Chains A and B, each alone.
Chain A
Amino acid sequence: MAKIELMSGNDVAVKAAIIAGCTFYGGYPITPSSEIAEGMAKALPPVKGKFIQMEDEIAGIGAAIGASLTGAKSMTATSGPGFSLKQEHIGYAVMGEIPIVIVNVMRGGPSTGMPTYPAQADVMQARWGTHGDHEIIALMPCSVQETFKLTIEAFNLAEQYRVPVILLTDEIIAHMREKVEIKEKNEYKIINRLKPTVDPENYNPFDTKHGMVPPLAPYGEGYRFHITGLTHDHTGFPTSKPDLVEKLQERLRDKILKNRKEFDWYEERMVEDADIVVFAYGATARSAMRAIKDARRENIKAGLYRPITMWPFAYDNIRKIAKTAKQILVVEMNLGQGLGEVERGVAGTKCKVKFLGKANGELITPTEILSKIREVSNV
C-alpha cells in the first residue's frame, strides 16, 4: 500500500536509492547534500549494504566506482566544489563504462561560494566538468516527489547503459519538506545491469557483439578483466589504434544519444498556443508555473517548458516550440548556462530568446518572472 510521508529532497533520495537496490555509498559530506550521506549511513546496514565515509570527495567517488565493479549498485552525493573534485573520476566511469549515480545538490559558486544558499550553477559543470568528448545523462527534479522518482530512474539508466548518471538537484528542493507518495518496492520498475552469459575465460568487458552496451561481470565471481581510463579495445587493454579508438568514442556517444528518446523527459504547460514560453527547471520551474498562470490572467499567452532530462539536451523539443512561440524566456539561478543551449535549439527560426538569471543565492520569485514576461511581451 502506498504511504504518504513528509520528507525533504535529500531524505527521499536516500529512500529511493534503497528501493532502486543501492547497496553501496562512498562519499564525503558537504553542505547542502550532507543529509544524503547521513541517511545512507543509516539506511544501508539494514539492507546489508556498506557506507564508507572516505578521506575526501575524490576518494568518495573512487570507492563508489570500485564497489560498482563488484556488482553493487553504487552512489555518491556532493555539492558544487565537491562535484568539481569528482570530475576526473566521472570521466573514468564514462570511459570504463561503470554504472554509478552521483547526486549533486547545487549551491552558489564558484569555489566554496555560498554553501547554504541555492543556485543552479552546475548545469554546465554536469555537462562538461570532465574532459574529453563524452555524453552524460543528468536529470533535474522540481519537487520532492520527483526527486524520489528520478533517483530510481538515475539508477535504472546507469545500470541499463553502463554510465555514470547525475541527479542535479538544488538546495531548495533538497531541503524543503513536501508530501511524497511511496509505494511498495515491487511496484517500481527496477533495472539491473546485464551480466555476461559466457564463461570467464571467454569474457571481454567491452564486447559489443550483442549491442552498444556490453554486459558487465562483477569482480569476485571469477571473471578477471582489465579496466582503464586509457582508450581500450574489447578486452579492456589499452589501445591507441585510430580505428579502434574512433569506434570506442562513437559507441560511448551513441549508446546515450541513440537511446535518448527512451528517457526524453520534460514537462510542458500551456505551450500549444503560447506566444512566450518560459524555459525553467528545478526549483525555478515551480516559480515559473505560478508566473505563467498569473500571466494568462493578464491575457498574456504564456507557457512553460521544463526539461527533466537536462543532458543530453533536447534541442529538438526547443526547435518545436520555436516554430510556434514568438519568444522563449530562459529563467535560471545562474548567469546563463542553459541559455546558450536554448539559443542553439532555436537557431534558424524566428523565435527570440530572452533571459532572466540570478546568481545571488536567492530563489527567483514568481513576481520577478511575471515582471520579465510583461517586459518582453511589451505589456
Chain B
Amino acid sequence: MMRAEIRLGGNGGQGIILAAKVLAEAAGIYAGLNVVQSQIYGAAARGELSKADVIIDDGDIYTLEISSADLLLCLSQEAYDHFKNELKPEGKLVLDEFYVKDYDQLDKRFLAFPISQMSKDLAGSEMFSNMISVGILTVVGGYFSEEHALKAVEKNVPKNFLDMNLKAVQMGFEEAKKKLKKNC
C-alpha cells in the first residue's frame, strides 16, 4: 500500500495552493490514484505563512491530515522554521535556497534549489516559482509521471501563460534530475 503525504509551505502570494492543486490533479485525475488536497483556510494574506497539503494513496484515504510529511517543500525561511520538524525521518525536504538561508546543512534529507532565482532567470519574476516547484516535486516524489504533471498544469493555468508555466515545470524536472544524479 502506498501513501504519500506532501506538504507545501511558503508565503501567501507564492502560489503554493495552485501548486498543490496541480499535484493533486496529476495524482488523482491523470495517474488515477486517490487524493485529498487541503490548505490553511482563511487569513493567509500576501507575505504570511501559508500551507497546502496533498495526500496521495492507492487505497481509500481515511486520515485527512498530515502529521509528518514524506515530501516537504519550503519556499520561505518561515515555512522552513515552522514545518521542518514535521518531516518523516526518511522524508525529503525541497527548499528554495534563495529564501531559506538558515537551515540544517547536516540534514541529509534536504535538496536545495535556487527556485526563485530560477524563476527570475526564466521570466524576470518570481511568478513561476510554484510551477518550478511542481516540476521538482514530481521528480523527487516519483508518485506520478512527468506527463501527468504537464497535463495537470495545462488544466489549471490560464491559457495566455501556459507556455511559460510548462517551461517552468520542465525546468523543475531537469534541475531535479541533475541534482538527484549528483547525489547518487
Contacts and interface: CB of A to CB of B under 8 A. Distances in A.
Interface of A: 4-6, 31-32, 115-116, 171-172, 175-179, 283, 286-287, 289-290, 293, 363, 365-366
B36 A366 contact: no
B7 to A, nearest CB: 14
Given A32-B41, A176-B36, A6 B63 contact: no
Contacts of B65: 363, 365
A144 to B, nearest CB: 9
Interface in B31-70: 34-39, 41-43, 60-65, 67
Nearest to B54: A177
A314 to B, nearest CB: 23
Contacts of B60: 289
Nearest to B41: A116
Contacts of B24: 6, 177
Contacts, number: 63
Interface string B1-42: 000000000000000000001001100110000111111011
B1 to A, nearest CB: 11
Contacts of B34: 178-179
B37 A177 contact: yes
A116 B63 contact: no
Contact of A172 (B37, B62, B64): B64
A4 B25 CA distance: 10
B41 A365 contact: no
B12 to A, nearest CB: 14
A32 B38 CA distance: 13
9 contacts: A6-B21, A6-B35, A31-B41, A31-B42, A176-B64, A177-B37, A283-B64, A287-B63, A363-B65
Contact of B25 (A6, A286, A365): A6
A287 B64 contact: yes
A286 B64 contact: yes
Given A6-B29, A177-B24, A365 B38 contact: no
Interface residues of B, number: 21
A6 B62 CA distance: 17
B29 A5 contact: yes
A6 B34 CA distance: 10
Interface string B63-95: 111010000000000000000000000000000
A310 B34 CA distance: 27
Contacts of A289: 60, 62
- CB-based closest 6 A-B pairs: A116-B42, A290-B62, A177-B37, A176-B38, A289-B62, A179-B28
B42 A290 contact: no
Nearest to A171: B41
Given A31-B42, A32-B41, A172-B38, A179 B64 contact: no
Given A4-B29, A363-B65, A365-B65, A115 B38 contact: no
Contacts of B42: 31, 115-116
A250 B155 CA distance: 54
Contact of B29 (A32, A179, A365): A179
Nearest to A367: B67
B35 A179 contact: yes
Nearest to B40: A116
A175 B38 contact: yes
A25 to B, nearest CB: 22
A65 B21 CA distance: 37
Contacts of B36: 176-178
A32 B24 CA distance: 22
A3 to B, nearest CB: 10
A178 B60 CA distance: 11
Nearest to A366: B63
